[in-house]
Amino acid sequence: MSSNKADIIVGIQWGDEGKGRIVDLYAERYDVVARFGGGDNAGHTINVGEQKLALRIVPSGVLQPHVELFIGGGTVIGLDGLIAELDKLSQLGVDIARVRISDRAHVVLPYHPAADRADETARGDNPIGTTGRGIGPAYVDKVGRHGITFGDLSRADIVAQRIAFNLERRRSSQGDAGLPSERELIESTLASAQRILPHVIDGVTYIHDAMARGRVLIEGAQGSLLDVGYGTYPYVTSSHTIAGGACTGLGIGPTAIGSVIGVVKAYCTRVGAGPFPSELQDETGERLRRQGGEFGTVTGRPRRCGWFDAVAARYAVALNGLTGAAVTKLDVLSGLERIGIVTGYRLNGAAVGFGAIGQSGFEVEIEEMDGWAQAIDGVRRIADLPPAAGAYLERLESLLGVPVETVSVGPERSQLAR
Protein backbone atom coordinates (compact mmCIF):
# COMPACT_ATOMS: atom_id res chain seq x y z
CA MET A 1 0.00 0.00 0.00
CA SER A 2 1.43 3.40 -0.88
CA SER A 3 1.60 5.91 1.93
CA ASN A 4 1.36 9.65 2.19
CA LYS A 5 4.49 11.42 3.34
CA ALA A 6 4.43 12.89 6.83
CA ASP A 7 5.46 16.54 7.28
CA ILE A 8 7.46 17.81 10.25
CA ILE A 9 7.41 21.08 12.20
CA VAL A 10 10.40 21.66 14.48
CA GLY A 11 11.79 24.55 16.50
CA ILE A 12 15.23 25.55 15.23
CA GLN A 13 16.54 27.61 18.16
CA TRP A 14 16.62 26.78 21.89
CA GLY A 15 12.92 25.97 22.18
CA ASP A 16 9.99 28.30 22.85
CA GLU A 17 9.87 29.42 19.22
CA GLY A 18 6.07 29.35 19.27
CA LYS A 19 5.69 25.98 17.56
CA GLY A 20 2.33 25.34 19.19
CA ARG A 21 0.40 27.96 17.28
CA ILE A 22 2.14 27.12 13.99
CA VAL A 23 1.22 23.46 14.45
CA ASP A 24 -2.30 24.59 15.29
CA LEU A 25 -2.41 26.53 12.02
CA TYR A 26 -1.05 23.74 9.81
CA ALA A 27 -3.03 21.01 11.62
CA GLU A 28 -6.21 22.05 9.85
CA ARG A 29 -4.98 20.19 6.76
CA TYR A 30 -3.95 16.99 8.57
CA ASP A 31 -5.68 13.98 10.10
CA VAL A 32 -3.13 13.16 12.80
CA VAL A 33 -0.66 15.30 14.76
CA ALA A 34 2.13 13.25 16.33
CA ARG A 35 4.80 14.07 18.89
CA PHE A 36 8.04 12.15 18.73
CA GLY A 37 10.22 13.15 21.69
CA GLY A 38 10.59 14.87 25.03
CA GLY A 39 7.94 14.92 27.71
CA ASP A 40 6.33 17.47 29.96
CA ASN A 41 9.49 19.59 29.85
CA ALA A 42 7.85 21.04 26.74
CA GLY A 43 5.24 23.74 27.07
CA HIS A 44 3.09 24.77 24.16
CA THR A 45 0.83 27.75 24.60
CA ILE A 46 -2.01 28.52 22.24
CA ASN A 47 -4.15 31.61 22.75
CA VAL A 48 -7.78 31.31 21.74
CA GLY A 49 -9.65 34.51 22.57
CA GLU A 50 -9.57 34.87 26.33
CA GLN A 51 -8.50 31.30 26.75
CA LYS A 52 -4.83 30.39 27.10
CA LEU A 53 -4.26 26.71 26.53
CA ALA A 54 -0.95 25.53 28.01
CA LEU A 55 -0.14 22.02 26.88
CA ARG A 56 2.81 19.98 27.98
CA ILE A 57 2.30 16.55 26.52
CA VAL A 58 -0.68 16.38 24.20
CA PRO A 59 0.18 17.61 20.67
CA SER A 60 -0.86 21.14 19.69
CA GLY A 61 -3.32 19.90 17.04
CA VAL A 62 -5.79 19.57 19.90
CA LEU A 63 -7.85 22.61 18.88
CA GLN A 64 -8.69 21.09 15.49
CA PRO A 65 -11.58 18.80 16.44
CA HIS A 66 -11.07 16.39 13.54
CA VAL A 67 -7.41 15.69 14.36
CA GLU A 68 -6.20 12.53 16.11
CA LEU A 69 -3.42 13.19 18.62
CA PHE A 70 -0.58 10.73 18.89
CA ILE A 71 2.18 10.62 21.51
CA GLY A 72 4.97 8.62 19.89
CA GLY A 73 7.39 6.02 21.16
CA GLY A 74 10.31 8.44 21.54
CA THR A 75 8.62 10.37 24.35
CA VAL A 76 8.95 10.00 28.14
CA ILE A 77 5.76 10.81 30.02
CA GLY A 78 4.70 10.93 33.69
CA LEU A 79 1.34 9.34 34.42
CA ASP A 80 0.02 11.94 36.88
CA GLY A 81 0.86 14.85 34.59
CA LEU A 82 -0.75 13.11 31.65
CA ILE A 83 -3.92 12.34 33.61
CA ALA A 84 -4.11 15.95 34.82
CA GLU A 85 -3.69 17.26 31.25
CA LEU A 86 -6.35 14.87 29.89
CA ASP A 87 -8.73 15.92 32.70
CA LYS A 88 -8.17 19.58 31.92
CA LEU A 89 -8.79 19.05 28.21
CA SER A 90 -11.90 17.04 29.01
CA GLN A 91 -13.24 19.90 31.16
CA LEU A 92 -12.68 22.23 28.19
CA GLY A 93 -14.88 19.97 26.10
CA VAL A 94 -12.13 18.19 24.16
CA ASP A 95 -12.90 14.59 23.25
CA ILE A 96 -9.87 12.91 24.82
CA ALA A 97 -10.57 9.61 23.07
CA ARG A 98 -8.63 11.32 20.25
CA VAL A 99 -5.42 11.00 22.31
CA ARG A 100 -3.37 7.87 21.69
CA ILE A 101 -0.06 6.88 23.25
CA SER A 102 2.48 4.53 21.75
CA ASP A 103 3.18 1.33 23.67
CA ARG A 104 6.87 2.20 23.11
CA ALA A 105 6.80 5.52 25.00
CA HIS A 106 8.51 5.40 28.39
CA VAL A 107 6.97 6.21 31.76
CA VAL A 108 8.52 8.93 33.93
CA LEU A 109 8.28 7.68 37.52
CA PRO A 110 8.48 9.82 40.67
CA TYR A 111 12.11 8.80 41.23
CA HIS A 112 13.08 10.46 37.93
CA PRO A 113 12.33 14.09 38.91
CA ALA A 114 14.02 13.38 42.26
CA ALA A 115 17.14 12.16 40.42
CA ASP A 116 16.97 15.16 38.06
CA ARG A 117 17.05 17.54 41.04
CA ALA A 118 19.81 15.56 42.76
CA ASP A 119 21.95 15.63 39.58
CA GLU A 120 21.47 19.39 39.29
CA THR A 121 22.51 19.86 42.93
CA ALA A 122 25.55 17.66 42.34
CA ARG A 123 26.57 19.87 39.39
CA GLY A 124 27.06 22.63 41.97
CA ASP A 125 28.06 25.92 40.33
CA ASN A 126 27.58 24.49 36.87
CA PRO A 127 23.99 23.26 36.60
CA ILE A 128 22.25 22.66 33.25
CA GLY A 129 19.13 24.44 34.46
CA THR A 130 16.81 21.54 33.61
CA THR A 131 13.07 21.82 33.97
CA GLY A 132 13.34 19.34 36.87
CA ARG A 133 10.78 17.02 35.25
CA GLY A 134 12.95 13.90 35.31
CA ILE A 135 13.41 13.83 31.55
CA GLY A 136 17.15 13.07 31.58
CA PRO A 137 16.96 10.28 34.19
CA ALA A 138 13.97 8.71 32.37
CA TYR A 139 15.96 8.55 29.11
CA VAL A 140 18.95 7.16 31.05
CA ASP A 141 16.72 4.32 32.31
CA LYS A 142 15.39 3.72 28.80
CA VAL A 143 18.88 3.43 27.33
CA GLY A 144 20.02 1.45 30.39
CA ARG A 145 17.24 -1.06 29.55
CA HIS A 146 15.40 -0.87 32.83
CA GLY A 147 12.70 1.62 31.96
CA ILE A 148 8.97 0.91 31.97
CA THR A 149 7.12 1.40 28.69
CA PHE A 150 3.46 2.31 28.32
CA GLY A 151 3.02 -1.17 26.80
CA ASP A 152 4.42 -2.66 30.04
CA LEU A 153 1.68 -0.94 32.05
CA SER A 154 -0.78 -3.72 31.19
CA ARG A 155 1.50 -6.26 32.91
CA ALA A 156 1.45 -5.85 36.69
CA ASP A 157 4.26 -8.38 37.12
CA ILE A 158 6.67 -6.41 34.91
CA VAL A 159 5.75 -3.08 36.52
CA ALA A 160 6.30 -4.52 40.01
CA GLN A 161 9.55 -6.20 39.11
CA ARG A 162 11.02 -3.15 37.38
CA ILE A 163 9.97 -0.70 40.08
CA ALA A 164 11.52 -2.99 42.70
CA PHE A 165 14.73 -3.20 40.67
CA ASN A 166 14.95 0.56 40.09
CA LEU A 167 14.21 1.47 43.70
CA GLU A 168 16.81 -1.00 44.95
CA ARG A 169 19.40 0.33 42.50
CA ARG A 170 18.73 3.89 43.64
CA ARG A 171 18.69 2.95 47.34
CA SER A 172 22.09 1.32 47.06
CA SER A 173 23.62 4.39 45.40
CA GLN A 174 21.79 7.31 47.04
CA GLY A 175 20.21 5.92 50.22
CA ASP A 176 16.54 6.12 51.13
CA ALA A 177 16.15 9.89 50.98
CA GLY A 178 13.09 10.97 49.04
CA LEU A 179 12.32 7.51 47.65
CA PRO A 180 8.73 6.21 47.96
CA SER A 181 8.04 2.75 49.40
CA GLU A 182 8.04 -0.02 46.84
CA ARG A 183 4.46 -1.08 47.60
CA GLU A 184 3.13 2.44 47.47
CA LEU A 185 4.77 3.18 44.14
CA ILE A 186 3.69 -0.09 42.51
CA GLU A 187 0.09 0.46 43.69
CA SER A 188 -0.10 4.07 42.55
CA THR A 189 1.52 3.28 39.19
CA LEU A 190 -0.90 0.43 38.51
CA ALA A 191 -3.87 2.57 39.60
CA SER A 192 -2.85 5.41 37.25
CA ALA A 193 -2.22 2.86 34.51
CA GLN A 194 -5.90 1.92 34.56
CA ARG A 195 -6.77 5.49 33.53
CA ILE A 196 -4.18 5.58 30.76
CA LEU A 197 -4.31 2.09 29.27
CA PRO A 198 -7.40 2.78 27.11
CA HIS A 199 -5.22 5.33 25.24
CA VAL A 200 -2.24 2.98 24.74
CA ILE A 201 -1.91 1.42 21.30
CA ASP A 202 0.57 -0.40 19.09
CA GLY A 203 2.31 2.80 18.00
CA VAL A 204 4.19 1.53 14.97
CA THR A 205 1.12 -0.08 13.41
CA TYR A 206 -0.91 3.04 14.19
CA ILE A 207 1.44 5.55 12.56
CA HIS A 208 1.89 3.47 9.42
CA ASP A 209 -1.88 2.97 9.09
CA ALA A 210 -2.36 6.70 9.68
CA MET A 211 0.03 7.55 6.83
CA ALA A 212 -1.71 5.05 4.55
CA ARG A 213 -5.20 6.45 5.18
CA GLY A 214 -4.53 10.17 5.64
CA ARG A 215 -2.07 12.93 6.40
CA VAL A 216 0.24 13.05 9.40
CA LEU A 217 1.87 16.19 10.81
CA ILE A 218 4.79 15.61 13.15
CA GLU A 219 5.38 18.13 15.93
CA GLY A 220 8.80 18.62 17.49
CA ALA A 221 9.39 19.57 21.10
CA GLN A 222 12.14 21.88 22.41
CA GLY A 223 14.50 23.23 19.74
CA SER A 224 17.31 21.95 17.53
CA LEU A 225 20.02 23.68 19.58
CA LEU A 226 18.89 21.61 22.60
CA ASP A 227 19.36 18.32 20.70
CA VAL A 228 21.34 15.85 22.81
CA GLY A 229 23.76 15.10 19.98
CA TYR A 230 24.00 18.33 18.01
CA GLY A 231 23.01 21.12 20.41
CA THR A 232 25.14 23.08 22.85
CA TYR A 233 26.13 19.92 24.74
CA PRO A 234 26.03 19.39 27.70
CA TYR A 235 23.51 22.26 28.02
CA VAL A 236 20.85 20.35 26.11
CA THR A 237 17.86 18.17 26.74
CA SER A 238 18.19 14.37 26.66
CA SER A 239 16.43 13.57 23.38
CA HIS A 240 16.99 14.12 19.66
CA THR A 241 14.89 17.17 18.95
CA ILE A 242 15.93 17.55 15.29
CA ALA A 243 13.84 16.24 12.40
CA GLY A 244 15.82 12.98 12.26
CA GLY A 245 14.49 12.25 15.76
CA ALA A 246 11.02 12.02 14.24
CA CYS A 247 12.01 8.82 12.42
CA THR A 248 13.35 7.05 15.49
CA GLY A 249 10.72 8.60 17.76
CA LEU A 250 7.82 7.31 15.68
CA GLY A 251 9.26 4.22 13.99
CA ILE A 252 9.16 5.52 10.42
CA GLY A 253 11.88 5.69 7.77
CA PRO A 254 13.48 8.81 6.25
CA THR A 255 11.65 8.12 2.98
CA ALA A 256 8.35 8.66 4.84
CA ILE A 257 9.10 12.36 5.37
CA GLY A 258 7.79 15.10 3.08
CA SER A 259 8.42 18.71 4.05
CA VAL A 260 10.24 19.98 7.15
CA ILE A 261 9.19 23.39 8.43
CA GLY A 262 11.40 25.17 10.97
CA VAL A 263 9.82 27.56 13.44
CA VAL A 264 12.12 30.41 14.30
CA LYS A 265 11.58 33.46 16.48
CA ALA A 266 12.45 36.86 14.97
CA TYR A 267 14.98 37.12 17.81
CA CYS A 268 16.47 34.47 20.13
CA THR A 269 15.70 33.20 23.59
CA ARG A 270 17.11 30.52 25.81
CA VAL A 271 16.02 29.24 29.20
CA GLY A 272 18.46 27.48 31.48
CA ALA A 273 22.23 27.64 31.40
CA GLY A 274 24.64 27.29 28.47
CA PRO A 275 26.24 29.41 25.78
CA PHE A 276 24.08 31.96 23.96
CA PRO A 277 26.22 34.01 21.54
CA SER A 278 23.66 36.69 20.67
CA GLU A 279 22.47 37.27 24.25
CA LEU A 280 21.68 40.86 25.24
CA GLN A 281 22.32 41.40 28.94
CA ASP A 282 21.16 44.99 28.80
CA GLU A 283 18.05 47.14 28.57
CA THR A 284 17.27 45.86 25.04
CA GLY A 285 17.29 42.25 26.29
CA GLU A 286 15.04 43.28 29.15
CA ARG A 287 12.69 44.99 26.71
CA LEU A 288 12.47 41.87 24.51
CA ARG A 289 11.66 39.79 27.59
CA ARG A 290 8.94 42.19 28.71
CA GLN A 291 7.47 42.79 25.28
CA GLY A 292 7.64 39.14 24.24
CA GLY A 293 6.36 37.77 27.56
CA GLU A 294 9.49 35.64 27.68
CA PHE A 295 8.86 33.57 30.80
CA GLY A 296 8.87 29.76 30.75
CA THR A 297 5.54 27.95 30.26
CA VAL A 298 6.64 25.03 32.43
CA THR A 299 8.81 26.64 35.09
CA GLY A 300 7.94 30.37 34.85
CA ARG A 301 11.67 31.17 34.63
CA PRO A 302 12.61 34.40 32.82
CA ARG A 303 14.06 33.54 29.42
CA ARG A 304 17.39 34.98 28.33
CA CYS A 305 16.90 37.15 25.23
CA GLY A 306 19.11 38.20 22.33
CA TRP A 307 19.30 39.05 18.64
CA PHE A 308 18.49 36.63 15.84
CA ASP A 309 21.52 34.39 15.35
CA ALA A 310 21.94 33.55 11.67
CA VAL A 311 24.93 31.25 12.21
CA ALA A 312 23.00 29.07 14.67
CA ALA A 313 19.90 29.24 12.46
CA ARG A 314 21.75 28.09 9.33
CA TYR A 315 23.33 25.26 11.32
CA ALA A 316 19.83 24.20 12.34
CA VAL A 317 18.54 24.50 8.76
CA ALA A 318 21.22 21.98 7.79
CA LEU A 319 20.61 19.67 10.78
CA ASN A 320 16.92 19.43 9.92
CA GLY A 321 17.01 19.57 6.14
CA LEU A 322 14.44 22.36 6.27
CA THR A 323 12.22 23.00 3.28
CA GLY A 324 10.55 26.12 4.71
CA ALA A 325 10.30 28.33 7.78
CA ALA A 326 7.75 30.10 9.93
CA VAL A 327 8.93 33.26 11.68
CA THR A 328 7.25 34.07 14.98
CA LYS A 329 6.91 37.14 17.19
CA LEU A 330 7.98 39.71 14.60
CA ASP A 331 5.70 42.22 16.39
CA VAL A 332 7.91 42.08 19.51
CA LEU A 333 10.60 43.99 17.60
CA SER A 334 8.25 46.89 16.72
CA GLY A 335 9.44 50.14 18.26
CA LEU A 336 13.16 49.30 18.31
CA GLU A 337 15.23 51.90 16.49
CA ARG A 338 17.91 49.43 15.36
CA ILE A 339 17.77 45.65 15.21
CA GLY A 340 20.85 43.44 15.34
CA ILE A 341 21.48 40.11 13.62
CA VAL A 342 24.43 37.88 14.45
CA THR A 343 25.88 37.02 11.05
CA GLY A 344 29.27 35.54 11.93
CA TYR A 345 31.29 33.83 14.68
CA ARG A 346 35.00 34.39 15.21
CA LEU A 347 37.53 32.58 17.36
CA ASN A 348 40.64 34.67 18.03
CA GLY A 349 39.75 36.64 14.93
CA ALA A 350 39.23 33.71 12.52
CA ALA A 351 35.79 32.86 11.11
CA VAL A 352 34.38 29.72 12.75
CA GLY A 353 31.13 27.69 12.79
CA PHE A 354 28.62 26.66 15.44
CA GLY A 355 30.98 24.13 17.05
CA ALA A 356 33.18 26.93 18.40
CA ILE A 357 30.44 28.33 20.64
CA GLY A 358 31.49 28.66 24.25
CA GLN A 359 35.26 28.62 23.67
CA SER A 360 37.44 31.41 25.03
CA GLY A 361 38.36 33.98 22.39
CA PHE A 362 34.90 33.57 20.83
CA GLU A 363 33.19 36.69 19.43
CA VAL A 364 30.20 37.48 17.28
CA GLU A 365 29.77 39.76 14.28
CA ILE A 366 26.62 41.82 14.37
CA GLU A 367 24.85 43.41 11.43
CA GLU A 368 22.39 46.20 12.19
CA MET A 369 19.17 47.04 10.39
CA ASP A 370 16.62 49.83 10.75
CA GLY A 371 13.68 49.15 13.01
CA TRP A 372 10.09 50.27 12.49
CA ALA A 373 7.87 52.27 14.81
CA GLN A 374 4.41 51.11 13.69
CA ALA A 375 2.45 48.32 15.36
CA ILE A 376 2.13 45.36 12.95
CA ASP A 377 -0.32 43.17 14.85
CA GLY A 378 -3.13 43.97 12.40
CA VAL A 379 -1.12 42.99 9.29
CA ARG A 380 -2.32 39.80 7.56
CA ARG A 381 -0.26 39.90 4.36
CA ILE A 382 3.55 39.90 4.40
CA ALA A 383 3.43 42.39 1.54
CA ASP A 384 1.60 44.88 3.81
CA LEU A 385 4.33 45.02 6.48
CA PRO A 386 6.04 48.42 6.98
CA PRO A 387 9.05 48.57 4.61
CA ALA A 388 11.66 48.16 7.39
CA ALA A 389 9.82 45.10 8.80
CA GLY A 390 9.56 43.66 5.29
CA ALA A 391 13.27 44.26 4.74
CA TYR A 392 14.14 42.58 8.06
CA LEU A 393 12.03 39.56 7.15
CA GLU A 394 13.62 39.34 3.71
CA ARG A 395 17.04 39.43 5.35
CA LEU A 396 16.06 36.56 7.66
CA GLU A 397 14.76 34.59 4.69
CA SER A 398 17.97 35.06 2.72
CA LEU A 399 20.10 34.13 5.75
CA LEU A 400 18.01 31.02 6.39
CA GLY A 401 18.12 30.06 2.73
CA VAL A 402 14.57 28.63 2.76
CA PRO A 403 11.21 30.32 2.04
CA VAL A 404 9.34 31.90 4.95
CA GLU A 405 5.78 30.56 4.69
CA THR A 406 4.13 32.43 7.52
CA VAL A 407 4.89 35.12 10.12
CA SER A 408 3.23 35.64 13.47
CA VAL A 409 2.50 39.26 14.37
CA GLY A 410 0.70 38.85 17.70
CA PRO A 411 -0.21 36.25 20.30
CA GLU A 412 -3.75 35.53 19.05
CA ARG A 413 -4.41 32.49 16.93
CA SER A 414 -5.51 34.71 14.03
CA GLN A 415 -2.54 37.11 14.15
CA LEU A 416 -0.58 35.62 11.26
CA ALA A 417 0.62 37.15 8.02
CA ARG A 418 1.25 35.10 4.88
Binding site residues, ligand IMP, CB under 6 A: 14-16, 41-43, 128-131, 133, 135-136, 222, 226, 235, 237-238, 271-272
Supply the minimum distance, in Å, between the C-beta of residue 49 and ligand IMP: 24
**Closest to ligand IMP by CB, 45 or 284:** 45
Supply the minimum distance, in Å, between the C-beta of residue 237 and ligand IMP: 3
**Closest to ligand IMP by CB, 41 or 64:** 41
Measured distance CA(234)–CA(230) in Å, rounded: 10
**Closest to ligand IMP by CB, 52 or 213:** 52
Any bridge partners for residue 47, and if so which? 52, 412
- Percentages (nearest 5) of helix, strand, coil residues in the chain: 40, 25, 35
Supply the minimum distance, in Å, between the C-beta of residue 94 and ligand IMP: 21
Contact 339, 307 (CB under 8 A): yes
What is the SS3 assignment for 116? helix
Supply the minimum distance, in Å, between the C-beta of residue 394 and ligand IMP: 28
Residue 95: active-site member: no
**Closest to ligand IMP by CB, 10 or 42:** 42
DSSP H or E run through 5: none
What is the SS3 assignment for 50? coil
Residue 16: active-site member: yes
Alpha-carbon separation of residue 375 from 401, 404, 415 (angstroms) = 27, 21, 12
Cα radius of gyration (the chain): 21
**Closest to ligand IMP by CB, 165 or 233:** 233
Burial class (CB in 10 A: 0-12, 13-18, 19+), 258: middle
Supply the minimum distance, in Å, between the C-beta of residue 204 and ligand IMP: 25
Supply the minimum distance, in Å, between the C-beta of residue 354 and ligand IMP: 17
Phi, psi at 379, each rounded to 5°: -75, 135
**Closest to ligand IMP by CB, 132 or 258:** 132
Task: Write the DSSP symbol of residue 344.
Answer: E
Any bridge partners for residue 218, and if so which? 8, 34
What is the SS3 assignment for 261? strand
Alpha-carbon separation of residue 187 from 167, 181, 192 (angstroms) = 14, 10, 9
Estimate to the nearest angstrom the gap between the alpha carbon of 46 and the chain centroid: 14
Measured distance CA(85)–CA(54) in Å, rounded: 9
Strands 76-78, 106-108: pairing is: parallel
What is the SS3 assignment for 258? strand
Exactly one of 7, 16, 24, 141 is catalytic; name it: 16
Determine the residue type at 407.
Answer: V
Query: Which residue's CB atom is positioned nearest to ligand IMP?
Result: 272
Omega before residue 403 within 30° of 0, cis: no
**Closest to ligand IMP by CB, 235 or 354:** 235
Supply the minimum distance, in Å, between the C-beta of residue 335 and ligand IMP: 26
Exactly one of 24, 40, 44, 309 is catalytic; name it: 44
Cβ partners under 8 Å of residue 203, min gap 6: 70, 72, 73, 100, 101, 102, 103, 104, 105, 250, 251
Any bridge partners for residue 194, and if so which? none
Residues labelled as active-site residues: 16, 44
